[in-house]
C-alpha cells in the first residue's frame, strides 16, 4: 500500500470513528443535547479535527440523516406487499412511517431538523445521497397510487402530486404527537393519524355516483 492510499484509508477510518461517536451520543442524548465538543471529547479528538473532516455540525448530522433515510426506505420497502391492494399498501406505508418515528426517534429528529432548516449545508456528495434516499418514499407512494389509478380504484390524478400531499400530511400528523398533552388532550394520536390516511383515500376513490350517472 502506497503512502497516498494509506492516507486515504486513515482518513476514511477517522471519519468513521467520528460518525460512530456522533451516532452513539445522538442515541444517548438526542439531537439538541449533542454538541461537537462532546463528540470530540468522546472520540478523543480535538474540535479542530472534527471540523477537518466535517465542515459543520450540520454536515456531520447530514451523514447520519442519510443513515436514517436508508432505514426509513427499508421499512417502507418491506411494508409494501405485491398481493395487497394499492389502498392497503398506502395504509401499510403510513404505518411504517409512524412506526419509524417511534422506534427511530433520534433519526426522525435529524430528518426533521433538516426539513425545518431554511438553508441546510451539505457537501455535494452528501446532498446527492440525501436526495436519493429522500426521493424513495415519494417514489414508492407514487408507484402505489399509480397502480390504484391503473386498476380503476382511484381517480385519474397526478400520482406524484398526490404522493407529495399524502407524505406532507403524514409528516405533519406525526409532528402533532408532541401535542398529546396540550391540543390533543383526550385524543388518541394514532387514531387521528389513521383517520387522516382514510380521508386521503376517500379523496382518491372514484365516486360511485359519478360512475352510475356516467354509465347512463
Task: Output the domain CATH number for residue 28.
Answer: 1.10.10.60
Residue 41: domain span: 1-54
112 and 209 both lie in a single domain: yes
40 and 86 both lie in a single domain: no
Nearest to 166 by CA among 131, 126, 193: 193
71 and 40 both lie in a single domain: no
**Per-residue pLDDT in tens (0 to 9) along the chain, 216 residues:** 577 677 778 888 888 889 889 888 887 887 778 889 999 999 999 999 898 888 877 778 888 888 888 899 899 989 999 899 999 999 999 999 999 999 988 888 888 877 666 555 566 666 676 677 778 889 999 999 999 999 999 999 999 999 999 999 999 899 888 777 777 777 888 999 999 999 999 999 976 444 333 343
Enter the C-alpha cell of residue 1.
500500500
The Cα–Cα gap between 97 and 174 comes to 9
145 and 197 both lie in a single domain: yes
202 and 112 both lie in a single domain: yes
pLDDT of residue 90: 97
| Stated pTM of the model | 0.77
- Per the structure, how many domains does the chain have? 2
152 and 208 both lie in a single domain: yes
Amino acid at each position: 500500500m502506497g503512502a497516498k492510499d494509506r492516507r486515504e484509508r486513515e482518513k476514511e477510518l477517522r471519519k468513521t470513528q467520528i460518525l460512530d461517536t456522533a451516532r452513539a451520543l445522538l442515541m444517548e442524548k438526542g439531537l439538541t443535547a449533542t454538541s461537537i465538543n462532546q463528540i470530540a471529547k468522546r472520540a478523543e479528538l480535538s474540535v479542530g479535527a472534527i471540523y477537518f473532516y466535517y465542515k459543520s455540525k450540520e454536515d456531520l448530522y447530514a451523514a447520519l440523516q442519510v443513515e436514517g433515510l436508508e432505514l426509513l426506505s427499508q421499512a417502507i420497502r418491506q411494508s409494501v406487499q405485491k398481493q395487497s391492494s394499492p389502498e392497503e399498501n398506502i395504509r401499510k406505508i403510513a404505518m411504517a412511517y409512524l412506526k419509524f418515528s417511534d422506534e427511530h426517534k433520534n433519526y426522525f429528529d435529524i430528518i426533521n431538523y433538516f426539513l425545518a432548516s431554511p438553508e441546510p449545508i451539505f457537501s455535494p456528495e452528501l446532498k446527492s445521497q440525501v436526495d436519493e434516499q429522500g426521493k424513495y418514499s415519494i417514489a414508492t407512494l407514487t408507484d402505489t397510487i399509480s397502480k390504484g389509478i391503473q386498476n380503476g380504484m382511484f381517480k385519474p390524478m397526478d400520482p406524484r402530486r398526490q404522493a407529495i400531499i399524502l407524505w406532507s400530511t403524514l409528516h405533519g400528523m406525526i409532528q402533532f404527537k408532541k401535542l398529546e398533552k396540550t391540543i390533543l388532550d383526550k385524543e388518541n394520536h394514532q387514531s387521528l393519524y389513521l383517520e387522516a390516511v382514510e380521508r386521503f383515500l376517500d379523496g382518491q376513490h372514484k365516486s360511485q355516483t359519478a360512475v352510475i350517472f356516467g354509465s347512463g
